[in-house]
Amino acid sequence: MTTHTADRTRPPTTGHTARAIPETALEELRVTDDAGRPTEPFTARADGVPQDCVGALLRCCLRDARAGERVALVSYAPLRRWAAGTGAEPGAYDEQGPVFVHAGACGGPDGAAGRYPDLRAGALRVLRRYNAQGKIIGGRYLEVPEDAEAAFDDALGEAFADPRTALVHVRAVEYGCFQFEVRPER
């Protein structure tokens, strides 16, 4: 994997947008997660951080949990779900891991919020590229700079410049948690 610093000599790539977990998957995850466990909702604490967790990005709407909201920590297998819809066979690249979602319908991402979730400078991310067969074909380490949107535009532009790239998963480095998915614009 390579380390990323934004390249200011070329214009940023535009057109990429983070994708939240699809509503049909959320409906299932709110009952039973991808590890087969029943979902157990809880209430976000007064400080806005759900109990028993460090991060609180809700993958259903790509924003942080707010105090008093009902949320759930579920196991999610994004590549497996994508592969089921495309006929891909990811094999050993199929991963599942913890994500936070609202315990009930939330309406999804706010269209005015931007193309990527609110990312704090200094956050460590890895962008994993997958081909149409669901095999990993590369990755890139990204320490989120102050201009997070430009850095993601640049890194995603590079990822999708490879015609083999079918989708990119963004994960937190510290815990490996799935953050969001990006697909090429068609």
Query: What are the residue ranges spanned by the domains of the chain?
Result: 7-182
| pLDDT score at 49 | 64
pLDDT band at 55 (very low <50, low <70, confident <90, very high): low
Reported as a single tens digit per residue, the pLDDT across 67-92 is 888 999 999 999 999 999 999 999 99
Reported as a single tens digit per residue, the pLDDT across 128-148 is 999 999 999 999 999 999 999
Task: Please say whether the beta carbons of 10 and 153 come within 8 A.
Answer: no
Question: DSSP state, 17?
Answer: -
Reported as type and span, the H/E element at residue 64 is: strand 63-64
| pLDDT score at 186 | 62
> 4-37 in b/e burial notation, b at 16+ Cβ within 10 A?
bebeeeeebbeebbbebbbeebbeebbeebbeee
| pLDDT score at 6 | 37
Task: Give the strand order in the sheet containing 70-76.
Answer: 42-43, 70-76, 97-102, 57-58, 63-64
| pLDDT over 80 at 113, yes or no | no
Q: Name beta bridge partners: 74.
A: 99
| pLDDT score at 4 | 37
Mean residue pLDDT of the chain comes to: 86
